[in-house]
């Protein structure tokens, strides 16, 4: 797949894709390419006006629906209002290294928006996604630990580590979802993706030294950053349970390839723990049963 570009996205006519966080950055670029390839794209965004403005310049079949991942009531309303099955769900929306804050349900903001919201959304749609679920993680997952104190209630808050924890949670979730789908004999697969470092609003927002060291450096364009997401969402040969990222130095830039992730991200026991905790916190129980001997 070396050198794969947006021009290699297969024809998407007849396919429906939900893209969360489609108003800007990688989500907007993913929307533009998929709609251009013929997909019907449902932009799932917390600010419908902003989404409609973003959709204005995009040719193709676009729908805008409201989804605020920082509010489980909004996640439930989105799922209840979705009037058809979809082929692909792309869990792309995210916040990056924001100050301490809580979601409507009282979750630490990174955990809530980046992991628990998508966990609930995917669970509510689990029987209605035909082809694949793509979850957008980050190379910074390597700095993360998923602690028992997952909501940062008993430790000093550190925004980059809170972000890293949520991105490790994305990988634990994506890989556990694949084990469960395979264990249940489902055709739908779960794939992780990460963009390397891409020049988006999210990436530029933090101008601190720490931010520059962690997420700075030469960034690739949003067009390049979206390629691993597009590959994960459309390439026919993608296997469930892999992570697609840039093939260049330190996975910071390049064309899509299957990339390695940390040992912690492959810890099936921690993934099962997080899954259970996420079900408790969100109240969403998946119809898919634990994999048993498949793991």
Ligand X SMILES: NC(=O)c1ccc[n+]([C@@H]2O[C@H](COP(=O)([O-])OP(=O)(O)OC[C@H]3O[C@@H](n4cnc5c(N)ncnc54)[C@H](OP(=O)(O)O)[C@@H]3O)[C@@H](O)[C@H]2O)c1
Catalytic residues: 163
Show the site string, 48-87: x = touches ligand X by CB under 6 A, - = not: --x----------------xxxx-----------------
Subset of 207-226 contacting ligand X (CB under 6 A): 225
**Nearer to ligand X among residue 15 and residue 46 (C-beta):** 46
Q: Which two tokens stand for residue 88?
A: 């692909």
115 versus 288: smaller Cβ distance to ligand X: 115
30-48 in b/e form (b: 16+ CB < 10 A) is bbbbbbebebbbbbbbbee
Helix (H) or strand (E) holding 42: strand 40-45
Query: Site map for ligand X, 235-274, x if CB under 6 A?
Result: ----------------------------------------
What is the rounded CA–CA span in Å between residue 12 and residue 19? 14
Three-state DSSP at 134 gives strand
Would you mind telling me the total number of residues written for the chain in this entry?
295
The answer to whether 198 contacts ligand X (rule: CB under 6 A) is: yes
Question: How many H helices and E strands in the chain?
Answer: 11, 8
Per rule CB under 6 A, is residue 202 in the interface with ligand X? yes
Backbone angles phi, psi at 177, to 5 degrees: -60, -45
Query: Could you give the CA distance from residue 251 to residue 155 in angstroms, rounded to a whole number?
Result: 31
The total of other beta-carbon atoms located within 10 Å of residue 28's CB is 25
- Using only C-alpha atoms, the chain has a radius of gyration, in whole angstroms, of 17
Rounded Cα distance, 63 and 41, in Å: 6
- CB of residue 197 to ligand X, shortest distance in Å: 4
Does position 18 interact with ligand X (CB under 6 A)? The reply is: no
Shortest distance, CB of residue 198 to ligand X, whole angstroms? 4
Applying CB under 6 A, among 118, 123, 144, 195 the residue interacting with ligand X is 195
Q: Residues 200, 234, 251, 265: which binds ligand X (CB under 6 A)?
A: 200
Main-chain phi, psi angles of 170, to 5 degrees = -55, -45
The residue (of 26 and 182) whose beta carbon lies closer to ligand X is 26
Q: Considering beta carbons, is residue 96 or 288 the nearer one to ligand X? A: 96
- Options 22-30, 32-40, 147-155, 283-291: segment touching ligand X (CB under 6 A): 22-30
Q: Return residues touching ligand X (CB under 6 A).
A: 20-21, 23-27, 45-47, 50, 67-70, 92-96, 113, 136, 138, 194-195, 197-198, 200-203, 225
């Amino acid at each position: 797949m070396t050198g794969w570009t947006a021009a290699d996205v297969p024809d998407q006519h007849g396919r429906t894709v939900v893209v969360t966080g489609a108003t800007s950055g990688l989500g907007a670029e993913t929307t533009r390419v998929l709609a251009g390839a013929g997909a019907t794209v449902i932009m799932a965004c917390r600010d419908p006006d902003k989404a409609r403005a973003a959709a204005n310049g995009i040719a193709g079949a676009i729908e805008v629906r409201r989804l605020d991942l920082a509010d489980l009531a909004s996640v439930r309303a989105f799922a209840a209002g979705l009037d058809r099955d979809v082929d692909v769900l792309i869990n792309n929306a995210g916040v990056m290294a924001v100050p301490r804050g809580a979601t409507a349900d009282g979750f630490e903001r990174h955990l809530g928006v980046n992991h628990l919201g998508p966990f609930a959304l995917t669970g509510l749609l689990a029987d209605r996604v035909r082809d694949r679920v793509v979850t957008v993680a980050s190379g910074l997952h390597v700095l993360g630990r998923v602690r028992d104190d997952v909501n940062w209630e008993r430790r000093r808050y550190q925004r980059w580590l809170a972000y890293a924890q949520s991105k490790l949670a994305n990988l634990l979730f994506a890989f556990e979802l694949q084990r469960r789908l395979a264990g249940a004999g489902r055709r739908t697969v779960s794939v992780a993706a990460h963009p390397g470092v891409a020049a988006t609003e999210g990436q530029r927002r933090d101008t601190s030294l720490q931010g520059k060291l962690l997420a700075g450096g030469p960034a690739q364009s949003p067009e390049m950053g979206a390629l691993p997401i597009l590959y994960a969402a459309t390439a026919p040969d993608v296997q469930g349970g892999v992570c697609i990222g840039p093939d260049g130095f330190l996975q910071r830039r390049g064309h899509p390839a299957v990339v390695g992730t940390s040992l912690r991200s492959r810890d099936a026991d921690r993934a099962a723990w997080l899954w259970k905790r996420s079900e408790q916190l969100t109240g969403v129980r998946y119809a898919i049963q634990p994999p048993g001997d498949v793991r």
